[in-house]
């Protein structure tokens, strides 16, 4: 490919990255804004006096949206243009049981990556360099969902764009994975438990991460590192149970 051919390709890929950045930013504003409104109704005054912190959370989150948008936009463009990735549209391409399995594989793979990179981020050097931004939210709010230093945002932004090259997934199931990622990212930080006690304190709930679990991470720091599941925290002895946000 000579220079004349490369330029339009770069412009098209860059446009896709920009468009994806706008989508991720809008998704963040709608999800965090929606749950912040719900918080104002369910727990009036919970965010009182946190205006400065919330403005910082929104600023870091919008910067993270650009970092998430870049690889996601380029991969989505490559999928449309050249058929990159193992994302499929035909419901018959794999057996039906593969649909929920693929969702679980994506969530577990993301959770595993997050658990180990998150533990690394709590090493003093990495904490000072990057993760302190996320923990500057004391207590976190619904706006802290994507409040990460760019280094940490980059570590999260590569996960799904890499997985779509490794594990086949139906486009609708990928949408479900992204929805779970968005909703849990917001609700785990909003300062109150959304899910019923009967679920949170059930046997199944004992393996799932909701606000009660992640809130304790923000209180105690050196425990409860997981994202969706408590599997790694339990295996590695870092699970310190639930908080009562
Ligand atoms: Zn957090
Ligand atoms: Zn942390």
Structure-token pair, residue 18: 């920009």
Largest CA distance in the chain: 62
- 206 belongs to a structural domain: yes
Rounded to whole angstroms, the Cα distance separating 129 from 45 reads 32
Q: State the distance from the centre of ligand 1 to the C-alpha of 138, rounded, in angstroms.
A: 10
As for how many domains the chain has, the answer is: 1
Q: What was the pLDDT predicted at 2?
A: 60
Q: State the distance from the centre of ligand 1 to the C-alpha of 205, rounded, in angstroms.
A: 19
Q: What is the number of the ligand closest to the CA of 121?
A: 2
- 176 belongs to a structural domain: yes
Q: What is the number of the ligand closest to the CA of 227?
A: 1
Q: What is the number of the ligand closest to the CA of 131?
A: 2
Q: What was the pLDDT predicted at 245?
A: 77
C-alpha distances in Å from residue 171, one per residue of 149, 168, 243: 30, 9, 36
Q: What was the pLDDT predicted at 244?
A: 83
Q: What is the number of the ligand closest to the CA of 115?
A: 2
Using DSSP's 3-state secondary structure scheme, residue 208 falls into: strand
- Please choose, from the candidates 138, 241, 143, 244, the residue with its C-alpha nearest in 3D space to the C-alpha of residue 185: 143
Rounded to whole angstroms, the Cα distance separating 153 from 65 reads 8
Which helix (H) or strand (E) segment holds residue 169: the answer is strand 169-170
Cα torsion through 94, 85, 156, 147, rounded to 10: -90
Q: What was the pLDDT predicted at 5?
A: 79
Spatial contact of 178 and 160, defined as CB atoms under 8 Å apart: yes
Q: State the distance from the centre of ligand 2 to the C-alpha of 136, rounded, in angstroms.
A: 10
Residue ranges of the chain whose pLDDT lies below 50? none
- 242 belongs to a structural domain: no
Q: State the distance from the centre of ligand 2 to the C-alpha of 118, rounded, in angstroms.
A: 6
Rounded to whole angstroms, the Cα distance separating 151 from 129 reads 9
Q: State the distance from the centre of ligand 1 to the C-alpha of 183, rounded, in angstroms.
A: 13
Print the domain residue range for 223. Answer: 3-235
Using DSSP's 3-state secondary structure scheme, residue 237 falls into: coil
Which helix (H) or strand (E) segment holds residue 88: the answer is strand 87-88
Q: State the distance from the centre of ligand 1 to the C-alpha of 134, rounded, in angstroms.
A: 6
Chain center to CA of 8: 32
- 197 belongs to a structural domain: yes
- Please choose, from the candidates 110, 131, 139, 145, the residue with its C-alpha nearest in 3D space to the C-alpha of residue 222: 131
Q: State the distance from the centre of ligand 2 to the C-alpha of 59, rounded, in angstroms.
A: 19
Q: What is the number of the ligand closest to the CA of 225?
A: 2
Q: State the distance from the centre of ligand 2 to the C-alpha of 179, rounded, in angstroms.
A: 22
- 241 belongs to a structural domain: no
Q: State the distance from the centre of ligand 1 to the C-alpha of 238, rounded, in angstroms.
A: 15
- 245 belongs to a structural domain: no
Structure-token pair, residue 130: 């990057």
Q: What is the number of the ligand closest to the CA of 57?
A: 1
- Please choose, from the candidates 52, 60, 37, the residue with its C-alpha nearest in 3D space to the C-alpha of residue 146: 60
- 219 belongs to a structural domain: yes
The whole-model pTM stands at 0.95
- 228 belongs to a structural domain: yes
């Amino acid at each position: 490919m000579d220079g004349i051919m490369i330029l339009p390709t770069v412009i098209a890929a860059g446009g896709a990255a920009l468009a994806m950045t706008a989508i991720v930013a809008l998704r963040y504003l709608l999800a965090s804004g929606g749950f912040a409104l719900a918080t104002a109704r369910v727990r009036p005054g919970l965010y009182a006096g946190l205006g400065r912190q919330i403005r910082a959370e929104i600023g870091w989150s919008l910067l993270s949206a650009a970092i998430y948008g870049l690889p996601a936009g380029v991969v989505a463009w490559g999928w449309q243009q050249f058929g990159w990735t193992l994302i499929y549209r035909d419901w018959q391409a794999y057996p039906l049981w593969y649909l929920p399995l693929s969702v679980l594989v994506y969530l577990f793979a993301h959770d595993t990556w997050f658990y180990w990179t998150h533990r690394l981020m709590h090493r003093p050097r990495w904490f000072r360099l990057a993760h302190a931004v996320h923990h500057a939210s004391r207590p976190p709010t619904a706006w802290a969902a994507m409040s990460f230093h760019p280094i940490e945002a980059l570590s999260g932004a590569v996960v799904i764009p890499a997985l779509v090259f490794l594990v086949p997934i139906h486009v609708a199931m990928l949408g479900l994975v992204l929805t779970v990622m968005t909703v849990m990212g917001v609700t785990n930080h909003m300062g109150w438990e959304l899910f019923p006690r009967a679920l949170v304190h059930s046997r199944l709930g004992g393996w799932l991460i909701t606000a009660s679990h992640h809130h304790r991470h923000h209180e105690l720091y050196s425990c409860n590192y997981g994202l969706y599941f408590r599997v790694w925290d339990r295996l590695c002895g870092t699970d310190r149970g639930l908080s009562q946000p």
